[in-house]
Structures are given as structure tokens and as C-alpha cells.
Amino acid sequence: MPDMKSSPVRTVLVADSKSKKSCLYAIFPAALLAFVVLFLTSSLYSQNYKEKLSNFKIDVDNTMETLVQKNTMETNDKCKKQCRPSGSEALPEGIISSTSSFEMRALWELARSKKVHNDVVVKVNASSNLFAMAVGIKQKDLVNKMVKKFLESNFIVMLFHYDGMVDGWKIFEWSHRVIHISVPDQTKWWFAKRFLHPDIVAEYDYIFLWDEDLGVENFHPDKYISIVKEEGLEISQPALDPKLSEVHHQITARGRRSIVHRRTYKPANGGKGCDESSTAPPCTGWIEVMAPVFSKAAWRCVWYMIQNDLVHAWGLDMQLGYCSQGDRTKNVGVVDAEYIVHYNRPTLGGIDKKTAEENVSVSSQEKEDHRVDVRRLSYHELDIFKKRWEKAVEEDKCWVDPFEQH
């Protein structure tokens, strides 16, 4: 009996063991399949990730390359837009010195110290205006008075010697303080075209280019500068004392009741007169060229208009208004408050008869009066200048006359 009872138990145990084995056999293929699926999925995901990472790196590289190219193009465009002086392209921009000045420097002294004023570097005691004049030793009395006045007002002074007599000026204490340029028988316009290039005089606010036969007893350079600044005059001249001067044009005569005048009035008398409606020279927008004063901007324009071969510059006065930086009826004027005397002494090509008669040492060539020849050439140059202007206006299709009369 005991054997009979124990038998079923073993049977159950054996059956249960077989059931476990069959279950394991059933799970293994499923697990293997799941592992294969997981492996394949991981491989595909890893490959896709690597592709995405690779594509991302390519995109980043492309973006960086695009940014570099864009930056390079912007730099190139910026460099192309830089307005560099011709011939300086091979130099780094910071080393280019495109302007100069007439400040004299001793061989043994350092440059003047500088101070900063409102973020602008300013040279201590630097001159900001230029006075230039063609001179001959015969007019030394008048020249001496003019030079003294302008030096006292801290001007740079430049003398153009048309008679070659430079040493004769050493009698004046100021001689070593001014710049001397000597070329025989040349006019102030010849000198100005060659020695007053706009880049050379760029440091000066105003350029005075005067004749030598002027009296300045009632003229004060500093006050004059203050007036032209306040009045906005780009091109100007001091008025002439009508009692003591030889006045060739009515507009240059001093008006006693005004500080500045910009036009003149005269009846037509059968011709063309000047009135309030006049808009062109010589009624308005006009000065005489014996004592012109130019702003820096105006001079840059005027210099280009001076013809290299026309040394007397006749005709230039009628076109100066084009360089007045705007409305010539407002920006060109005659200053009455600061006035001068025009003595009209003979200079280039002429002789002082009294001096020649008293001075027996004067050569026969010096005694010969060439004023007639000078006047003849001046008229000839005037005709040439007028024709050149007309031709230039006709040929330049891009130029628009701001003062065209309709």
C-alpha cells in the first residue's frame, strides 16, 4: 500500500519537470528573436544617429563656411569702399598721412605737445589760418605792416617772391618766421596752383590770398574771421575804403551802415543793372580777386578751377560762386566792418616811375614798363578761360548748373 501511494507523486514531479523544459524551449526562440530585433533596431538607430550627426557636422561646417565667406565679402566690400589716395593702396590704412601743413620744425626740437579738447586732439598754439601773398622788395613797407598784423593773429604767413629778392627781407625780425618761395616773374595764382594744393592747406580753416599793394591800418584778422564765420561766408573779401582806394567795382566799396553786404545796386542806364532781384555776378555772389578769403572747403573747389597755364586768372572771379558751397547770393560777400585800402601800385611788369628816376642803379631792362604786355595777356587769358568754361559745360552731360537762369 505504501508503494501505491507514493507512485502518483513521482508521476506528478516528472510531469512538472518536463513541463518546465518545454516552457524553456518555447521561450528561448522568442527571446532570441527579441534580441535579434533589438540588435537590428539598435544598429539601424545607431547608423541613423551617425548619419544625422554626420549631416549635422556638415551643416555646421557649411554654416561656418558661409559665415566666413559672408564676413570676407563684407570685409572686401568695406575695403573697396575705403577712399584711399591714389598710390597708397599698398600701405596699411593707419600709416597713410594724406595731408600736410606749413608748420616749421627745428632740427633739434620735438613736435609741439598736444592736448585733447572735446575728444579732438589739438596742437598747442597751432595756427589755423594761412596768409599768402606775392611780393616784391619795392613794396616792403606795405608788406611789412601786413605780415606783422597776420603774425600777431597767429597766422601762418607765406611770401611768394616774384623778383627773386629774398635776402632783402632779412632786415625784418619776422623774416625767419615766415615761409619764403622765390620764382622770378610769376603771379600769385601761378604760386597758388603749385604750392597751395588743398591737401597741403587742409589744416587751415581760411586761406587769404592777397595782393601786396594793400593798406591794413583798419583791418584786424581775428575780427574778420569772427565775422565771416558768423555770417556763413565761404568766399569773401574786406571792403575797400572808397576815399583812399582805387575802386574798380562798386560792390567792393565799403558800406558804412552794414557789417557785411552781398550785393550792389545800380541803374540799368541802357544796359543791365543790379537790383534786389539780381542773382548773378557782378551784382551778387561776386568779389574781386585782389584780396580774396576762402574757407577750406571753398578753396578745395577753387584750386581745381585755377587753370595751370592761365597765370593771371582773369575770369575766375565770375565763377567763384560755384565754389561757395551752396547759394552764392548768401555765401559770398564783402565785409564792411573790416576794411582795407587798395593803393593800386604797379607790381608785375610795371615800374614805379619815381623810384626809377631817383635810382640810377636800376637797369634799363627794369626801367622798361611791361604793363601793357601784361594787360594784353590778361585779356587773352580771359577769352581762353571763357571758352574753356563753355566747352566744359557743353561736354559734361552729368553736370547740372545750380545757378542756371530760366
Whole-angstrom Cα distance, residue 322 to residue 210? 21
pLDDT in tens, 225-235: 999 999 999 99
pLDDT-derived band at 399 (thresholds 50, 70, 90) equals very high
Q: Which of 142, 141, 182 is nearest to 158 (CA)?
A: 182
> Which helix (H) or strand (E) segment is 388 a member of?
helix 371-395
Query: Rounded to the nearest 5°, which phi and psi values hold at 271?
Result: -115, -155
- pLDDT score of 382: 97
Non-local CB neighbours of 316 within 8 Å, separated by 6+ positions = 189, 289, 302, 305, 306, 385
Non-local CB neighbours of 156 within 8 Å, separated by 6+ positions = 101, 102, 103, 127, 129, 130, 131, 179, 204
- Render 319-383 in DSSP notation, one character per residue: HGGGGSSS-HHHHEEEEEEEEEEE-----TT---HHHHHH-TTS-HHHHS--HHHHHHHHHHHHH
- pLDDT score of 347: 72
What CATH number corresponds to the domain at position 278? 3.90.550.10
Query: Rounded to the nearest 5°, which phi and psi values hold at 51?
Result: -65, -45
Cα Rg of the chain, angstroms: 44
State which of 13-17, 80-84, 301-305 shows the largest mean pLDDT.
301-305
pLDDT in tens, 246-293: 899 999 999 999 999 999 998 877 778 899 999 999 999 999 999 999
pLDDT in tens, 15-33: 455 555 555 556 666 666 7
Indicate left, alpha or beta for 304 from its phi (over 0: left) and psi (-120 to 50: alpha): alpha
Residue 406 lies in a domain: no
- pLDDT above 70: residue 98: yes
Helical ranges in 188-235 per DSSP H: 188-195, 221-231
- pLDDT score of 29: 67
Residue 36 lies in a domain: no
Cell of 156: 601762418
Whole-angstrom Cα distance, residue 318 to residue 281? 6
Residue 101 lies in a domain: no
Residue with cell 626740437: 109
Which is higher by pLDDT, 58 or 343? 343
Question: pTM here?
Answer: 0.75
The mean per-residue pLDDT over the stretch 211-231 comes to 98
- pLDDT score of 110: 77
Residue 53 lies in a domain: no
Residue with cell 541802357: 270
Alpha-carbon distance values, 155 to 24, 112, 265, 388 (Å): 113, 16, 35, 35
The one-letter amino acid at 21 = K
Which is higher by pLDDT, 353 or 333? 333
The mean per-residue pLDDT over the stretch 169-184 comes to 97
Contact in structure between 307 and 194 (CB atoms under 8 Å): no
pLDDT in tens, 377-388: 999 999 999 999
Residue 305 lies in a domain: yes
Contact in structure between 212 and 198 (CB atoms under 8 Å): no
Give SS3 for 263: strand
The mean per-residue pLDDT over the stretch 364-390 comes to 86
Residue with cell 502518483: 8
Residue 271 lies in a domain: yes
Q: Which of 250, 333, 355, 335 is nearest to 284 (CA)?
A: 333
Which is higher by pLDDT, 10 or 159? 159
- pLDDT above 60: residue 199: yes
- pLDDT above 80: residue 403: yes
Give the range of the structural domain holding residue 182, as residue numbers without chain letter: 114-347
Whole-angstrom Cα distance, residue 89 to residue 108? 33
Contact in structure between 184 and 163 (CB atoms under 8 Å): yes
HSE-CB for 196 with a 13 A CA cutoff: 34
HSE-CB for 128 with a 13 A CA cutoff: 9
In 3-state terms, the chain is what percent helix, strand and coil (to 5)? 45, 15, 40
- What average pLDDT is seen over the chain? 83
Residue 296 lies in a domain: yes
What percentage of the chain has pLDDT greater than the value 70? Answer: 73
Our count of domains for the chain comes to 1
Whole-angstrom Cα distance, residue 120 to residue 71? 32
Residue 400 lies in a domain: no
Cell of 43: 544598429
The mean per-residue pLDDT over the stretch 81-103 comes to 84
